[in-house]
Chain A
Amino acid sequence: MRTSLDVLRRFVDLPADPAAARVLLDEVGLEVKRIDPDRPGVPVTLELLANRGDHHGHVGLAREVAGRTGGDVREPRCLDLVVGEGTHPVQVQTPLCPVYALTELRRTAEVGLDAEARALLEACGLKPVHPVVDATNVANLELGQPTHAFDADTLVGPVTVRLSRAGERAWPLFAPEPVDVPEGTVVIADDEKILALAGVIGCEESKTTAATTRILLEAAAFDPVAVRKASRALDVHTDSSARFERGADFTLPLRGAGRVAALLSAGWAVHGTTSLHASWADPARLVPFEPAACRAFLAVDEDDASLWARLGRYGFVREGAGVRVPAHRLWDVEHPADLYEEIAKSIGYDATPTTLPAIDMGAVPSHAEQVWDTAAEVLVGAGFYEVVTDGFHGRQLVEQLGFGEGHPLHAHVETANALDRAYSLLKNETLGQALEGVALNVRMKHDEIKAFERTRTFHPDPGAPNGVCTERTVLWAIAAGHERPRTWAGAAREIDAHLLAGLVDELALALRVPFAVSTAPGTHPLQSALHPGRQALVRQGDRVVGIVGEVHPAVVARFRLKRVRPVYLEIDGDALLAEPVRAVFAEPPRVPPVERDLAFTLPRGVEAAALCAALEAGAPDWLRRVAVTDLYAHVQDGAPVRTLTVTLTWANDEGDRTAEALNAATEQAAQAALAALGPRGVTLRA
C-alpha cells in the first residue's frame, strides 16, 4: 500500500523523524518496504498483513499504531445519513450481501475535491478521475470501506443484489468488451443489465461521467469468499476486492457513504433518505482472556490493568472474563492467542523477554543423513558437482528419450494448472534432465562434465496410500569429457562407463552395502536409453537397484549433443540406505603376499568377470584376489580380441609357500579357467 507519513499523520501521531517512524511502523506489523525521506510528504510503501482487511484504510493503520503508542485515532468527518425508504427501490436477494445501503446524491455545483483529499489520492498513487469516483476512492483509502456510484439516470427498474444466471454477461469498467459472468456470482443489477460485480468492480453502462447529475451511491458489505471467487474467476483484482476478500466491517457501510457525501458536499447534495438492507447481526463475539495465562504465554510481567488497557487501545471491550471483539476484527480474532498477539504488539516484540534455549544433549544425524552425506562425499571426492534440478519435466523431454507409449516410463503424474508447459509432468526419471544439463554445458563449451544429484521421482500408482503416486529417491550421476581436466602433464583418459562402474564400487565400500555391477540378464526402465553394448545393471543381492552405462547414441543425437559421449549412473535411494554390513577386521600378515601374472586372450563377448570367476573357482583356497591389471585390444586372425593380464594374489601368511607350490597353484587356476572358457575361444598366452 502506498501512502505518505504526512497523510498517515492526519490519522495518528507519528515520530517526526522518518527513520523513527519507519521503525515504529515495522514494529507494529506495517512493514515499510520503501521510504523516501527526502521527498515531500515522505512517501512510504507498506506491506500489509494478508489477514488484516482493516489495514486497507488509514484509520485501520492508525489504530494499529495507536495500539502501540497509546495515541488517539483521528477519524475523518462523515455526514450522518438518515436511514429511510430511500429514493430508489432496492432488492437484496442473497445472504451473500449482509449489508446494502443506497443513497442518492444530486449535483449542485461543478466543484472538485479539496486539496487535502487530492493530496491523499496522490500519496496513494491514484490520479483524479471524476469528483465522485475520487471521493469513493478517498473514502475507501481513509476508512477501508469501498463504495460505488451508479449514474442514476442509466438505471432501469430497481437495484437488485442477486446471483448471476447462466449465460449472463457484464461489461466491467476498463474492459474492452462485455465478458461472461460465471453463474452464481453476486451481482448488482437492474432490470436490463448488470451494474456491478459485487465487491469487485462496477460496469461501463452505469458508470459516472462528466454529464452525470444524479448518482446512487452504493455502500455495502459482501461475503469474502463470494468476492474472492468472482475476482479470481474474472481475473479482476481491485482495491475493493482486496478489502472484501479479507472480511468487511459490517458496521462501516453507512459511515463510508457518509464520508463520500462529506467529501462531495461542496458540489453534491444528499437527496432523500438512505435505504439500508441489513441481514447482518453482530455476533457479539466474546474471547476469553486470562491475564495470568497471557503473562505466562508471553513471559511478561505486566499487571492485569495494564493488559486490559492495552487491549482497549485496539478496540477490544472488556466483558466479564473476556473481551468483546470489535466489528473490524471479527475476521481475525477468535482465540486467546490472538489477544496475546495484540498484547505483544502493544508492548513491542523486541521489548518482551527472551529465554535462550536450554543446553541440550544435541542430536546425531540419522542413518539416512549419514548415508547421503557419505555418498555425496564419494562423488565430490571423485570430482563431481552436486546439482539441483526441477521436480518437473515436459513431454518433449520424454520424446527425446524415446519413451513412447508402452514404455514403462511413458506414464506420468501430471500437473493440472502449470503456467509453463515445461512443468506439465512430474518427472519419473532423471536421465533427461541430466542430459539437458550436459547439453547446456556443452553449448557453453564446458565439455568436462561430472554432475550428480539426490532427487525424487514420481510414479503413477493407484495403489499408493495417496491413490495417485509413489515417490522414489534416486542418486544419479552423469559424466562426459575426461577423467581429469586437461593438464600440462598430458591428456587424461576419456570418460567411459568404467568410471561410473568404479564409483559403484566406491559407494559400496564407503556405505558398506553390497552393490554389484552386473551384466547378467535383468530389466531396468532406462535400459532402452543406454547403449546396448555398454550398460550394466547395479544389483544388490538378487534385486536390480540401478543402472550404469553410456547413453544410447540415438538419445545423444536427439539431445543434439556433439563431441561428448555421456555416461550415466542411477541407484535407487532405498538401496543406498540398506543396512550396512559390519566390517570384520583381519590382522594383515607379517609377510607380504606373492603374485603371479597370467595373460589370456578373450574373443569379443567373453567378459573379464567370467574369466576372474573361473580362475577363482579353479584355484586352491589360498588365492586371495584376482585383478585385471592390463588390457591389450588387438586383432587376431581377423577378429577383434582382448588380451587381459590377470594378477593372482596368493596368501603367504607364514612365508612358507615355495615357488613350486605357487607356480603349481597358478597353473591349476589357469587350467581351470581354460577348461571353463576354452570352448568359448579363450586361450592362455605364453
Chain B
Amino acid sequence: MSRPDVSALLEAFRADLAAAGDPEALEQVRRTHTGKASPLKAALKGLRDVPAEERPQVAAALNAAQATVEAELEAARLRAEEAALEARVAEEWQDLSMPGLAAPRGMRHPVSQVEAICLQTMRRLGFQLVEGPEVESAFYNFDALNIPEHHPARDMQDTFWVDGGLLLRSHTTTVQARVLEKHPPLPIKVVSAGRVYRNEAVDATHLAMFHQFEGIWVDRGLTFADLKGTLAFVARALFGADRRVRFKPKFYPYTEPSVGVDVSCGVCGGSGCDACHGAGWVTILGAGMVHPKVFTTFGYDPAEVSGIAFGFGTTRLAAQWTGITKVRSLYEPDLRTLTRLHRGA
C-alpha cells in the first residue's frame, strides 16, 4: 500500500473548515474529518498495510494530523460559540433607560417615621413605650399634673370636652400620670407617643389634633445634671452630633424646674436666619424635673425620688425634617404629598 497523503488530508480538512459558517456546518466538518468513515480514520486503519519499516513514521504523521484536526476543530468551535454569543447579545439589547418595573413600595407616614427614630433613640437609654387612652378625665390631664381648675396653664391647652365630663387628652403626659399611679418598680423609664387634641380654629398651621412624644424617668437620686445630660443626648441623637444645645427656663405645671431645649439652627448653623427668626436657635423640646406635687399626688415622697420628664411635638419634628411648612397637609390623606415626599415631585 502506498503511504497516505497526510498533507492532502489536512488540506481537504482545512478547506471544509474554512467553508463552515455556523455550528451545524462545523459539526458536519467534525463528522466528515474525524468520524469512523473519515479519510483520516481510514488511513489509520490502513497502517497495517504500510511496510513495517515505514509504519512508525506514517503512524506518527497520521497521529499528528489527527491532533491538528481536533485542535483546529476545537478552536473553530470556540470561535463559533463566541460569535454566536456575540450575535445573541447584540440581538438581546434592552433599553434600560426605560423606567424600572419593580412593584413600587409605599411609605410610612412622616410622623410614624419620626416616632420610630425617637423610639429607637429612647430605647438605647432603656425606655419602654407605653400607651394610654385618648379620652381622659380631667384628673389625669390636668389635676394630677398640677394644673388645677382655672389655672392659666389650662389656657395653654384649649380642651375638647366630651360626653360625661371627660376630655380628649391635650398632651401625652396623661400616660406618665397613669404610669406613676401604678407604682412600677424603680427605675421607671417610659415614653409615650400618640395623638393629642387642642380645641383650636383649624388652618394651615393650626391643628385640632397632632402628635406628641413624651418620656419620664423616675429613680432615686436623679439630678438636674442627669436631666441636662439625657436631653443633650436625645437632642444630638435626633438632630446630629454637631448641633449645639442650650437650656433655658420655661414653665410647665408638672415640672420644676422646667426647661426648654434649643439646638443650634440647622439652616444657618447658629448665626441667625429667617428660619430661626434671627435667634440662631430652634426650640425642640420642653422638659423638667418632675414637680413635687405630681409625686405627692401619686403617693411618692419627693424627698426620696426624683424624676426627669420631657416631651416634644412629633408633628413639628416631622414638618421640620420634611420641609413641610403647612402642617395641616401632614394630616390630609392627599397621596400627592406623600408620594412627593417619597419619590420626589
Contact = CB atoms under 8 A, between A and B. Distances in A.
Contact of B166 (A31, A229, A246, A466): A466
B163 A366 contact: no
B262 to A, nearest CB: 8
B338 A387 contact: yes
Interface string A4-29: 00000000000000000010001111
Contacts of A297: 223-224, 289, 306
A363 B127 contact: yes
Interface string A433-446: 11011001100101
Contacts of A299: 223-226
A451 B232 CA distance: 37
B235 to A, nearest CB: 12
A355 interface: yes
A389 B333 contact: yes
A469 B289 contact: no
A353 interface: yes
A598 B36 CA distance: 52
A568 to B, nearest CB: 13
A150 interface: no
Contacts of B128: 363, 366
A225 B150 CA distance: 6
A281 to B, nearest CB: 23
A484 interface: yes
Contact of A387 (B109, B152, B197, B306): B109
A517 to B, nearest CB: 22
Contacts of A341: 249, 256-258
B75 interface: no
B109 A417 contact: no
B277 A33 contact: yes
A385 B225 contact: no
Contact of A420 (B103, B111, B159, B208): B208
B339 A385 contact: yes
A328 to B, nearest CB: 16
Contact of B199 (A245, A418, A449, A468): A418
A403 interface: no
A386 B107 contact: yes
A393 to B, nearest CB: 12
A51 B166 contact: no
B291 interface: yes
A127 interface: no
Interface in B40-64: none
Contacts of A337: 256-257, 289, 291-292, 302
B316 interface: no
B223 A349 contact: no
Given A350-B246, A440-B332, A446-B336, A362 B104 contact: no
A458 interface: yes
B279 interface: yes
Contacts of B277: 33-34
Interface string B149-160: 010110110011
Given A363-B128, A385-B107, A436 B333 contact: yes
Contact of B279 (A32, A364, A423, A441): A32
B126 A356 contact: no
Contacts of A355: 223, 225-226, 228-229
Contacts of B119: 365, 369
A38 B47 CA distance: 115
A31 B248 contact: yes
A419 B229 contact: no
B225 A352 contact: yes
Contacts of B201: 419-420
Interface in B77-114: 98-99, 101, 103-109, 111-112
A349 B248 contact: yes
Interface in B242-267: 246-251, 253, 256-260
B161 interface: yes
A174 interface: no
Using C-beta atoms within 8 Å of the partner chain, give the interface range for chain A. Answer: 35 or more
Interface string A463-494: 00011110100000000000011011100000
Interface string B120-159: 0011111111010111010000000000001011011001
B168 interface: yes
A471 B133 contact: yes
A423 B208 CA distance: 9
A416 interface: yes
Contacts of A58: none
Contacts of B257: 337, 340-341, 344-345, 349
A196 interface: no
Contacts of B98: 488
B342 interface: yes
Interface residues of B, number: 92
B334 A383 contact: no
A419 B160 CA distance: 9
Given A363-B127, A419-B200, A468-B135, A354 B150 contact: no
Interface stretch (A373-381, A527-535, A628-636): A373-381
Nearest to A412: B163
A282 interface: no
A357 interface: yes
Interface string B198-235: 01111000001101000000000101111011101100
A451 B333 contact: yes
Nearest to B259: A349
A208 to B, nearest CB: 29
B272 to A, nearest CB: 8
B225 A388 contact: no
A451 B246 CA distance: 40
A16 to B, nearest CB: 18
A298 B223 contact: yes
B24 to A, nearest CB: 34
B250 A29 contact: yes
A50 interface: yes
A392 interface: yes
A149 interface: no
A456 interface: yes
Nearest to A340: B257
A388 B229 CA distance: 33
A308 interface: no
A121 B125 CA distance: 51
Most chain B C-beta atoms within 10 Å of own C-beta, residue among A245, A417, A434: A417
Contacts of B281: 26
B309 to A, nearest CB: 13
B335 A446 contact: yes
B209 to A, nearest CB: 5
Contacts of A418: 160, 199, 208
21 contacts: A29-B250, A224-B150, A225-B150, A296-B223, A350-B246, A354-B229, A360-B124, A360-B126, A385-B339, A387-B335, A416-B160, A416-B163, A434-B333, A437-B332, A437-B334, A441-B336, A449-B335, A451-B335, A458-B135, A467-B164, A469-B163
Nearest 7 Cβ contacts at the A-B interface:
A437-B333, A29-B249, A341-B257, A299-B225, A349-B247, A468-B164, A360-B126
Given A340-B257, A383-B106, A415-B161, 6 more contacts: A337-B302, A363-B123, A379-B106, A385-B342, A416-B163, A466-B133
Interface of B: 98-99, 101, 103-109, 111-112, 116, 119, 122-129, 131, 133-135, 137, 150, 152-153, 155-156, 159-164, 166, 168, 189, 195, 197, 199-202, 208-209, 211, 221, 223-226, 228-230, 232-233, 246-251, 253, 256-260, 277-279, 281, 289, 291-293, 302, 306, 330-336, 338-339, 342
Interface of A: 22, 26-29, 31-35, 49-52, 224-225, 228-229, 245-246, 296-299, 335-338, 340-341, 344-345, 349-350, 352-357, 360-366, 368-369, 373, 376, 379-392, 413-420, 423, 426, 433-434, 436-437, 440-441, 444, 446, 449-452, 456, 458, 460, 466-469, 471, 484-485, 487-489
